[in-house]
Every structure is written in C-alpha cells, then in structure tokens.
Amino acid sequence: MIRYILCIILSTVTLANHAQPLVSYFLTSRSEVSRGQIFKTIEESSEVVIKGVNPLPVKTVKEFNPQGSITSSISYNAAGGKTAETFWEYTNGERLTKKTHRYFANMAGWREETVIINYDEESQLPKGIEFLKEGKIFQSASLSTDSLGRIKSAEVYGSTGAHLTTEKLIYIEQNNMVKVMVYRANGQYHGNWTYPMDPNKEFSFESVKRKLYPNGEVMVETLSSSSKGDQAYYYEYQYDPKG
C-alpha cells in the first residue's frame, strides 16, 4: 500500500446549492486513475477546516484495479467509524458502467445514490444515464453523440418521465475543456459547468487549475473562491520514490 498525506483547506460561509448536470457523471467517470506506477491501495489523511468549527480529521482508503482505475473509496471519521463509501464498476474496456455512493446522514441514517451508464451494443458509444436514489430512478438522460463519438447533448427526464432539462456540450480543445450549457424544458437558460476534456492533461479554466508531475500524476489542484462564493480548496500531492 502507498500512503500519502492530502492537505485540504476549506473555508466556507455560504455554499451554492446547484446540482451538477447529469452528463457530468460520464465526463468525470475516470477522474481518479493512476498515471504513473499502478498501485493497489491509497490511504489519504486530511482535515477539513471551516470557520468557527474545530478541524475535522478524515481518513479515506481507496482501492484500484490492475488497470489503475479506482474501484472503491471508503471514508472514516476520527473515531474510526465509516462515514461514506463509493464503489465503481467498469466494462472490460474500462468504461464506467455503475457508480454506487452510500453516506451516513444525521437523523436519516444511511442513504444510497447510484449512477448507471448504458452503452449502445453496436457502436459502444454512451446512450443513456440513470441516476437512482434508494434504488429508485430519480433522473434519467438520453444521450446523442457527434461524428467523433463525443456526447453533444443530453435530454434529462424526472422520475415521472417529464422532460426537465436539456444539456448541450461545447468542446474547446485548445483549452482542454468541455462546457455544459443547461436549459430548462421551456428553453430558459439555467446555468453552465466546465470540465476538462482529458483529466490526464494539465488544465486551467475559470477558477480551477491543475498542474502535473512529469509522470502525469497530479502535483497541485486548486479551486479559488472567486466563482464558488466563499468555498475554496487546495490539494497538494506528494509521492514516495516508487511513485
């Protein structure tokens, strides 16, 4: 097992409550992949620092498959109690097919959210996304792709089948970014989100920046508070001689 320290500083007064686009589950499906030496397990120790609250220590243990893709992430509090767990499932080609997240909520107990990504059997391109809460479909999306096989839009529906939003994707290759524009069912603009086209490469857009080591591992990743109210983070990664 390789162990390293992940330093986190989180200063927050107000947090914006904006749900991510449904297509984000596909765009971020391979955000945690070993790009240097392939390892089996990582243990992260961190503290969440919030104004007016004592630091909250957290330990997270992550496991990876032989291809370097993350398969599980389990978080523990200072007393060693489990607070959350996430599991990933992939096809033989290492495409994400299912992500299950369980977390403990005060008063409510354990809650579960699941994302399922469906692919066309013939083209092998993504064709749909399902988002489930407590085992029941909460939202679903029908995907369309362009001539390059990239998702160009997603039609999002609620649990009753009502059309909720349309998510349109714009790819900006020179900046290694994809922008997701979200419109309500009536065509009214709702908001936009930005993601890296290739998370294995360096990127810098809006308030998010990432720098890499020569072997491709993440060196520093930051989110400034300029576009997220008073929320911010700073991650600095250090590795032993084996990567």
What is the Cα–Cα distance from 108 to 103, expressed in whole angstroms? 10
Domain 2-236 has CATH 3.90.1150: no
pLDDT in tens, 42-75: 888 877 667 777 777 889 999 988 888 889 999 9
Which residues of the chain have a pLDDT value below 70?
1-18, 30-38, 48-49, 202-243
Short-list 30, 33, 58, 34, CA closest to 44: 58
What is the Cα–Cα distance from 227 to 233, expressed in whole angstroms? 12
pLDDT in tens, 176-186: 889 999 999 99
Contacts of 187 by beta carbon, 8 Å cutoff, 6+ apart: none
pTM of the full structure: 0.74
Short-list 234, 178, 170, CA closest to 207: 234
